[in-house]
């Protein structure tokens, strides 16, 4: 299953102007990377994948629609999944902000692609 192109475009709009932004097709989805770190993705299951601070994971899982990201039958620490159906504009903006905020707290990766 391909990623949701409409969701990807909404994410792209929210990230417009972010420094060191790249997009990369991964795992059947479209990842949005900042300084080499994946912040969010339109995933192949039709939802949003968000990178979050593992220390805040339980708090963020309490939000409506948030669930652990499961890959190969195992939960991925520091990643959450949200169904695209519950992502109105304000909710999507909030979740994209969570991903951006967390990856901006990380040191840049050394292997950034040239602009």
- The pLDDT value recorded for residue 103 is 96
Residue ranges per structural domain of the chain = 5-104
The sign of the CA dihedral 114, 109, 60, 42 is: positive
In the chain, alpha helices (H) = 5-15, 57-61, 89-104
- The pLDDT value recorded for residue 110 is 64
- The pLDDT value recorded for residue 93 is 97
Cβ atoms 49, 43 nearer than 8 A: yes
Strand partners, 29: 26
- Give the whole-angstrom CA distance, residue 115 versus residue 54: 31
Specify the CATH number of the domain 5-104: 3.90.1150.30
Strand partners, 59: none
Per DSSP, 47 falls in state E
pLDDT tens for each residue of the chain, 115 residues long: 578 899 999 999 999 999 999 999 987 899 999 999 999 999 887 899 999 999 999 999 999 999 999 888 998 999 999 998 889 999 999 999 999 999 999 988 865 555 5
pTM: 0.89
């Amino acid at each position: 299953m391909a990623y949701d192109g409409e969701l990807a475009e909404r994410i792209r709009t929210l990230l417009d102007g972010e420094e060191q932004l790249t997009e990369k097709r991964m795992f059947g989805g479209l990842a949005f990377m900042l300084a080499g770190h994946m912040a969010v993705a339109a995933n192949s299951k039709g939802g949003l994948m968000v990178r979050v601070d593992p220390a805040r994971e339980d708090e963020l899982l309490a939000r409506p629609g948030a669930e652990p990201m499961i890959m190969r039958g195992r939960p991925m620490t520091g990643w959450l999944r949200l169904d695209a159906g519950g992502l109105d504009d304000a909710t999507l903006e909030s979740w994209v902000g969570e991903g951006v905020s967390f990856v901006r707290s990380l040191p840049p990766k050394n292997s950034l692609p040239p602009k």
